[in-house]
Structure 1
C-alpha cells in the first residue's frame, strides 16, 4: 500500500529512526507501567486466533521480557519500554484498546486490518501523547472522528481509511503540522475537506459520497442563511382617565338611586325620547 509517496514499511523505518534519536524524552518512565499496559490491552481484546497467548506475564517480569512478545517493539531489547505495537491483521476484535496510556513511550500504533468497532476516545491524545504513527485502517470504527486527534502534535501518519466514520473531518486536524500521510477514504464522511488537508491526493478522500471540496472534483454547495428581521410593534392603549369629580358624581348617583329604590319601591322614573313618565311596577 502506498501512502503519499512512501511504502508503509518505509514510513515505519523512517519513524523508527526519527523517534530513536529522541529517546531522551522518555528516559525517566518506569517499565512497570508498560507491563501493566500490555496486560490491560490483552484483557480488553477478543483474540479468536489466540495470537496474544504468547503474551505470558509472570509475577516478576525481568527487563526485556515483554520485548519478546509478538507485535511488541521496545526502545532497547534489554528494557521494558514499549516503542511500538504492530498488531495489524491478527483478527482482533473489540472497542479501541484500553490501557494504552500506560505505555508512556509508545510512538507507533498499528491496529489495521482487524475487526475493531465502536467510536474512538474523544481524549485519544491523552492516551497517546507521543504517537507519531497511527494506523487504524480496515476496521469497523464508527462515529465521528474525534477532534482530539488534532492535539497529537507529533503525528506524522494518520490512516483512517476503510472504516465507518461519519460526520465531518474535524478542522482541528489542521493543527497537525508534521503530517506527511493522511487518508480517510471509504468512510461515510460529509462536508468540506479542511484547507490544510487539501494537499493530499484525491484518492485519500474517495469513497465518501458527501465529502466535497478540493482535492475532490465535487464542489461544496453554498449555504444560504435566511435572516428574518421582525420589527417589534408597539401598541399604545389610551385609557380615559377618570377624574375625581366624575368619581364623586358616580358614587353620589349610586347612593341616591339606592335610597329611592329603598323608600319608593313601587315606582321608578324612566325617560324615553326626552318625555318623562311614571310606570307603576307593582300594585
Structure 2
C-alpha cells in the first residue's frame, strides 16, 4: 500500500493501475487460501470428485496470480529510471515514460524477485547515442547487476553513489567524455568487470583500489589521463585476469607486483602518451602460468629480455616493440608464441639461426627497424601458419631463404632494406657485380614491389630490370665464354697495335732518316 500512496503523490493517474493490480492479486491470493482450507466435500460439479474440482479451481486462480505479476515494475526502480532519463539531453525514443511497466523498456531487464513487483537487474544502453550527464538517481537501482552506457556521448564527472552500488557486477562506461578522478569512498564489493576506458579521467589512482574491488577480474583504465606511478597495489587484485592500463600518463618503472598475479591472462601497459614506462622487465613466469598476452610496446624499457620470459608456458602474444631491449636470442625458446612484435629495439644483433625454434605456430612476426645484421635465417619454411612478416629497415645480407616464397598462408611480407650509405650494389647487403631476380611463384607474386625496395641486389617485377632491354638474355655458360673471348681478343688487339707502331718507328716509316 505504501507503493500505491507514493505513486498517488506524483499525480500520475496511469500509475494507479499498479495499485489496482496489487489489490486484485491480493484478493486472488486470499481466495486461493480459502479454497485450500475448505474440505473437499464442499465442492461438487456435475459429478466431478470434490478434491479434483478444488484442485482445478486453485490451479486456475494461481495462473491468474502469475499473469497479474507480468506487468508489474518496482516503483523505486521506475522513479530511478525516470530520474536518469531527465538528466539526458537526448530522449531515449523507445522509452514510454508514461508507462508504469519499466521492464518493457529498451535496454531494461527485470527479474521475478518479489510477488508484487519485478526489480531492474540490468540496464544496457551502449551505443544509443545518449548525451548529457548521469544523475544520482541511477544509483537507486539497488538490485542492478549490469550497467552498460558505453560508446555514448555522456560527459561530466561521476557521482560517488554510482561507485557504491553493492550488487553491481559489470560497469562499462567506456567511450564517453567523462572527466575527473575516480570517486573517493568507492565501494563495489560485487564488481567483476570495470571498464572506464576511452574517456578523460585523471587524478591519482587510489592505491587501495583492490580493497574496494576484492573480486575484480577485468579492469580497463586505458586511454585516459591518469598520471604518476603505476600503482603497485594493483598486485593485490589477486583475481585479476585482464588488466589494461595502456595510453595514460604513467611514468615509472614496471611494478614487480603486477608480475605476481597468478590468474592474469592479459596485461597491456603500452604507449603512455608523452610519458612512458622505463626500467627493466621483471616478469615472473613461475607465478604467471596463465599469462597469454603481454603488451609493453612504445615505452622506454631497457636491458635484456629476461630469460624467465621463455618459461611462460601459455604466452602466445608478445609485443615489446619500440623500446631499448637486447638479447633477442632468448625468445627462441618461447614455445607457444603466435604473434611476436619486436620493432625498433635490437641494435646490431642478429636473428637466431637455430632451425629448432620452439614456436612453430607463429602467425605474425615484426622485427622491422632493428638494424639487425647477418643473413635472414633459413627457418621460415618451418612456420606453416605464418601470414605476416616484416623484416624491413634492417641490414640483412645474403639471399632470401628458399622456403619463404613457398609459404601458402603468407599474406603480407616486407623485406625492404635501409638505404645504404655507399654506392654499393647489394643482394641483401653484400657488394656484388650482378643482381638476383625476385623469386617467382608462390605467395611472393601477390606482394607489392614496395616489399622489396632498398635491396639493390634484387631485380625484376617493377624494380630495375634484371637484364638489358636489348638483345636476348645469354646463358651463364655462354656469358662466361664471351667474357673469355673478349679478354683474348682485347689482349691480341692491343699487342698487335703496339708491335705495329714499334715496327714503323724502327723502319723509319714515321720519321724518315736523313740521307
Partner of 1:264 in structure 2? none
Q: Distance in 2 between matches of 1:146 and 1:211?
A: 22
Residues 221 and 245, structure 2, Cα contact 8 Å, conserved in 1:
yes
Query: Normalising by the residue count of structure 1, what TM-score does the alignment of the two structures yield?
Result: 0.58
SS in 2 for 1:99: helix
- 1:119 CA drift (Å): 0.9
Residues 89, 76 of structure 1: alpha-carbon distance in 2 compared, 3 angstrom cutoff: same
Does 2:113 align with 1:86? no
Partner of 2:210 in structure 1? 174
SS in 2 for 1:100: helix
Residues 211, 141 of structure 1: alpha-carbon distance in 2 compared, 3 angstrom cutoff: farther
Residues 144, 211 of structure 1: alpha-carbon distance in 2 compared, 3 angstrom cutoff: farther
Q: Distance in 2 between matches of 1:192 and 1:105?
A: 36
Does 2:129 align with 1:96? no
Matches within 5 A, 1:180-259: 180-198=217-235, 204-212=244-252, 213-214=254-255, 216=269, 218-219=277-278
- 1:105 CA drift (Å): 1.1
Residues 202, 190 of structure 1: alpha-carbon distance in 2 compared, 3 angstrom cutoff: farther
Matches within 5 A, 1:133-152: 133-149=170-186, 151-152=187-188
- 1:80 CA drift (Å): 3.2
Partner of 1:117 in structure 2? 155
SS in 2 for 1:130: coil
Q: Distance in 2 between matches of 1:191 and 1:173?
A: 15
- 1:125 CA drift (Å): 3.3
Does 2:183 align with 1:131? no
Give CA deviations for 1:79-102 in whole Å, capped at 9, x if unaligned: 431000001011101122341132
5+ residue gaps in structure 2?
A: 1-72, 259-268, 270-275, 280-515
Q: Distance in 2 between matches of 1:186 and 1:202?
A: 15
Residues 210, 193 of structure 1: alpha-carbon distance in 2 compared, 3 angstrom cutoff: closer
SS in 2 for 1:147: coil
Residues 211, 160 of structure 1: alpha-carbon distance in 2 compared, 3 angstrom cutoff: farther
5+ residue gaps in structure 1?
A: 1-29, 221-283
- 1:75 CA drift (Å): 1.3
Does 2:81 align with 1:41? no
Residues 162, 211 of structure 1: alpha-carbon distance in 2 compared, 3 angstrom cutoff: farther
Residues 44 and 98, structure 1, Cα contact 8 Å, conserved in 2:
no
Partner of 2:189 in structure 1? 153
Partner of 1:256 in structure 2? none
- 1:67 CA drift (Å): 1.3
Partner of 2:198 in structure 1? 162
Residues 148, 211 of structure 1: alpha-carbon distance in 2 compared, 3 angstrom cutoff: farther
- 1:45 CA drift (Å): 0.9
Q: Distance in 2 between matches of 1:120 and 1:165?
A: 10
Residues 211, 112 of structure 1: alpha-carbon distance in 2 compared, 3 angstrom cutoff: farther
Q: Quick check: which one's strand share is greater?
A: 1
Instruction: Indicate the structure whose relative CO is greater, using CA pairs within 8 Å and at least 6 residues apart.
Output: 1
For these two proteins, the number of residue pairs brought into alignment is 182
Partner of 1:54 in structure 2? 94
Name the Cα RMSD after superposition: 2.6
Q: Distance in 2 between matches of 1:205 and 1:153?
A: 22
- 1:211 CA drift (Å): 4.6
SS in 1 for 2:79: helix
SS in 2 for 1:116: strand
Give CA deviations for 1:188-239 in whole Å, capped at 9, x if unaligned: 111222234247689711111335333548148xxxxxxxxxxxxxxxxxxx
SS in 2 for 1:85: strand
Residues 191, 133 of structure 1: alpha-carbon distance in 2 compared, 3 angstrom cutoff: same
Which deviates more, 161-170 or 205-214? 205-214
Residues 37 and 102, structure 1, Cα contact 8 Å, conserved in 2:
yes
Q: Distance in 2 between matches of 1:34 and 1:122?
A: 19
